[in-house]
Structure 1
Amino acid sequence: MPSQRPVRLDLVHDFVCARSYLAFTRARRALETVRAEGQGAELVLRPFQVRPDASPEGEPLFEVHRRDRGEETARRIRADTTTGREDGLRLRFGHAVFTNTFAAHHLLARAAPQGLALPVAERLFRAYFTDGLNIADPAVLARLAAETGVDTGTGLTDLTDLTGHLRDELARTRTLGSETGPAFFLDGRPVLGEEPTEKELLTLLRESPAEVNRSGPQAG
């Protein structure tokens, strides 16, 4: 009987994308469930920037929506208190500070080799959508790093190499991600849509090992 190999689920995301927050939350919970069932699985977070030209100075999300989508839509989004509620999340669109997310992705890249990618990502999403923090502010990021236990000492990884790696990865995901939502890839294959449910993610992860055993290793 062929042995099962761990399933890899990639999530191309941005921290200022509400659908990415929902997708991350559901995928993380699905991952925890299948791991508790004894299945090998990993969630790999890959960076994407909805607005790579956004200023790190930040501005109220309401102003961005009003400029891009009009006053009525901006007011409707600001008043929304239902998005994320069923997932146990509190998204406060009226408090969000829209900003450039390169520095936030950089922190996540520092956290990943330390085994802290998922808790750091959760904290960055919550900082943006719930706490109303500017996640491009160095002082904010330093505080979040300390909260989550990330060692940001320069001795761990050369900062220039890490920055270059992140820029290269963003260039790769630019054609994979979307300005309207996240993208999932299972062992390199695109799967699901922008708003999969936790149940759909669970089904995908549970069925994947059998699919891999039937089809054999994927070409690299």
Structure 2
Amino acid sequence: MRNSAQSVHVKIVLDVICAHSYLGHSRLIRAADRLRAQDVAVTVEVLPFELAPGASAEGRPLLTVLEQTFGPETAAGTASFAARAALEGLRFEYGKAIATGTFEAHRLIASAALQHKTEPMVERLFRAHFTDGLHIGDPATLARLAAEIGVVMDGVPAGELHARLERVRRLGVTGVPVFLIGRLPPLTGSQSENTLFEAMKGAAQMNGEHHVR
């Protein structure tokens, strides 16, 4: 069986203001690139999830919102998470991050998917929020980020995105990230790069066997 016969389709449910989603997406793409280097075709589809559905897109300091929601110990927790993420090359600047609704950001991701630019667009939105302190609920900011990646904002209808969000809710998703890899059982929460790699590798091998038959 040749590697060229192997492929795997991966779905990740995420929100671009979720720190664990950022870490999970980064690990997933690194694992996918390792498989691609072995001539395995990997496609990644992003399914939308809103941590705060209906939240205002006006923007507020993220640390303030987190402390009001989870208490004063939040600052220590975010510092610890940022230190761990830095070991994997991700920079979290919680002091600059802006809490916002993400509906329009998900519409941008949907547009990027139609143009085969999902992965760079999602990464840029994560980095804009957690590293650059940009307001990713602001239409002008989203337009600049789209232009950076070369994505045309084609106006995916709001109703279509609402329908996608509802389909994800009907799957029973209540937290992110969630990884749906081939026909394997879902993987939820913090998964290591190697766990994701092995799951994708196994799913690709099963698909390859199916193709050969």
The letter of the residue matching 1:210 is Q
CA distance in 2 between partners of 1:137 and 1:188 (Å): 37
SS in 2 for 1:151: coil
Say if 1:136 and 1:173 are closer, same or farther in 2 by CA, change over 3 A: same
The letter of the residue matching 2:173 is G
CA distance in 2 between partners of 1:106 and 1:98 (Å): 18
CA RMSD of aligned residues (A): 2.1
Structure 2 gap segments, 5+ residues each: none
Partner of 1:207: 202
The letter of the residue matching 1:177 is V
Q: CA deviation at 1:5?
A: 5.1
Q: CA deviation at 1:189?
A: 4.5
SS in 2 for 1:105: helix
Q: CA deviation at 1:21?
A: 0.3
Q: Is the 8 A contact 2:13 2:47 kept in 1?
A: yes
TM-score (norm 1): 0.86
Q: CA deviation at 1:76?
A: 1.4
SS in 2 for 1:21: helix
Q: Is the 8 A contact 2:14 2:21 kept in 1?
A: yes
Q: Tell me the matched-pair count.
A: 208
For 1:105-184, what aligned pairs fall within 5 Å after superposition? Answer: 105-152=106-153, 154=154, 159=155, 162-174=157-169, 175-179=171-175, 181-184=176-179
CA distance in 1 between partners of 2:99 and 2:172 (Å): 22
Q: Give percent identity, aligned residues only.
A: 38
Structure 1 gap segments, 5+ residues each: none
CA distance in 2 between partners of 1:77 and 1:54 (Å): 23
Q: CA deviation at 1:151?
A: 1.6
